[in-house]
Amino acid sequence: MQAVMNQAALVTDVRSDVDAVDPSRADGAMERYACGDEAAFLDLYDELAPRLYRFAFRWTRSRSSAEDAVQQTLLQIHAARHSFVRGAAVMPWAYAIARRLLIDVGRRGTREELRAHDVRDPEEATTAPSPEEALHWRRVEAEGQRDLRSLPSAWREAFELVKFEGLSVAEAAEVLGITRAMVKIRTHRATVALREALARRFHGSPERTLRVVPIAPRARDMGVGERGDRT
């Protein structure tokens, strides 16, 4: 049981894999840029691009789509330079733009297509310590991805922003346009669902019975069935 809980902790208590970024640096850079300091955009890029890139890549699983989303997000920020509100937080704003761009990409079918064909990152490391280990980790990753995709999109988005992107609950609430309490509830529900799915996998039959959770419209569109399998 302890092993299961350790595994669950790995999946559900994961902290951001993004280097700690001080949001005030991004805010300061944007403020300077809005005031006419052209060079500040470079600082803004350095602060935002890595985080947005990881966020977009996690969403699209495609390096080129992630690059496009980052580029468009930063250009939208650039376009709003003259109307930037003094003292506004840049990070939630940037994530909100990126999220909307990625939703548009999803609507256009790019995301579904990429996932349907299981597009892999060409620059992703293909070597592993051993074939067995590689197979094991690929399986674990695929199952984790499937569990995550089987969550309702609202839960998943809150979970990803808080757990993977390292945003605070307040920032995630701003990005999603919902209350902080709702972010906490959704993140908690996603965490519980993932833990349960993981526990069932360890204790369940070889057929793996994932807890049936309401399928998000986006996941349904992608052809993901109730057990997380592609239909």
Partner 1 sequence: MMPPESLKLRVLEAVRQQPLPRRTNRLPVTMGLAALSAVAMSAVLQWAPRLFGEVGGVAHAVGRPAASGTWILAGTVAVALFSTWLVLPFRRSMLLPARGVLLGVAIGVPLLVGAWLVLWHTTYDDPFTRIGWRCFALTALTAPWPFATLAYASRRMEPRHPGMAGAALGAAAGAWAAVMVELWCPLAVHSHVLVGHVLPLVVVALAGSVIGVRMFRLRRM
Binding region for partner 1 (CB under 8 A): 17, 34-36, 41-42, 45, 49-50, 53-54, 57, 66-67, 70-72, 74-76, 78-90, 92-93, 96-97, 99-101, 104, 173-179
CB of 201 to partner 1, least distance (A): 27
92: Cβ contacts below 8 Å, ≥ 6 apart: 167, 171, 172, 174, 175
Nearer Cβ to partner 1, position 87 or 131?
A: 87
User: Locate tokens 């109307």: which residue?
Assistant: 83
User: How far is C-alpha 135 from the geometric centre of its chain's CA atoms?
Assistant: 24
CB of 65 to partner 1, least distance (A): 12
CB of 37 to partner 1, least distance (A): 9
In the beta sheet, which residues pair with residue 224?
230
| Contact (Cβ atoms closer than 8 angstroms) between residue 153 and residue 111 | no
CB of 223 to partner 1, least distance (A): 26
Nearer Cβ to partner 1, position 81 or 203?
A: 81
Nearer Cβ to partner 1, position 92 or 228?
A: 92
Nearer Cβ to partner 1, position 41 or 200?
A: 41
| Contact (Cβ atoms closer than 8 angstroms) between residue 56 and residue 102 | yes
CB of 229 to partner 1, least distance (A): 28
| Contact (Cβ atoms closer than 8 angstroms) between residue 89 and residue 27 | yes
| Contact (Cβ atoms closer than 8 angstroms) between residue 210 and residue 200 | yes
Q: Dig out the tokens for 97 from the structure.
A: 């733009």
Nearer Cβ to partner 1, position 52 or 198?
A: 52
Alpha helices (H) along the chain: 2-12, 23-34, 40-60, 63-79, 90-107, 110-116, 131-149, 153-159, 169-176, 180-203, 217-221
CB of 187 to partner 1, least distance (A): 17
Nearer Cβ to partner 1, position 10 or 88?
A: 88
